[in-house]
Amino acid sequence: MFESFFKSVPRWTMGRARQHIEAHKLDEYNLIDVRQPEEYAEGHIPGATSIPLGELPARIGEIDRSKLTLVYCRSGGRAGNGTVLLTQSGFAQAHNIGGIMEWNGLVASGAPEAGMAVYDAAHKPEEYVALAWAMEEGARLFYLELGERFTELTAMFETMAAGEEHHRDQLAELYHELSGQTGEPALEGAAGLMEGGIDREAALAWARQREAVDVLEFAATMEANAHDRYIHVGRAVGGATERAFVDLAEAEKVHLGQLMQAFGQRLG
């Protein structure tokens, strides 16, 4: 399709890309997954935009040329072709970072539209914010109960809960600005959910029967998906509200790192 043979394709190692992703906010770079949609749905780097290689020529206008652009696929071949196309189209900072098999960390699962099905009840910016408020509150309650269940991890889970409370309060302020209403944000169908659209009571019932290491892995996966979904919601909503969701996504990335550290310590 695209001839990358005998051409110098700008390349970063996945390790270097991971360091960049962890150190920078998503709006400072582009992260493009050029695999097929079903591959993306099985697992992708959180925050990645799905643009299959075959669609890239027609959708290249969706990508900001001024930003560093990181391209990946399964093993690096398609990413190389995609990177060549981008450089030939005027992208001065496009790099093939290889394949997701080299990614050493959690991946988000589900296609963007599937993962965002829970957002179908929201249509206006303030409704998206109200839904996010409910999910942050759900996560706060979830972490508080985990702290009671796993006493050796109480301090960490209470810190996580405090972070969710801070996010919730920020979202409440934004909701009041957008809607002109006072009181607690509310959206029909949002009660009982937590980050990623997960039912809180079902998750708690599962967690009560599991060991700490299993719950840490679950919580880290939840945060990875929340990070990913908030990015996609922000893009869908746009405008000033997008900034709030990008900030939320960055905060979830911090939580993900904390949980992964605790998970690694338990495994060790």
Residue indicated by tokens 């996560």: 139
Which is the catalytic residue, given 31, 71, 73, 193?
73
Q: What DSSP assignment string belongs to 21-81?
A: HHHS-GGGEEEEE-S-HHHHHH-B-TT-EE--GGGHHHHGGGS-TTSEEEEEESSSHHHHH
The answer to whether residue 73 is catalytic is yes
Are the C-beta atoms of 63 and 86 separated by less than 8 Å? yes
Q: Which residues are catalytic?
A: 73
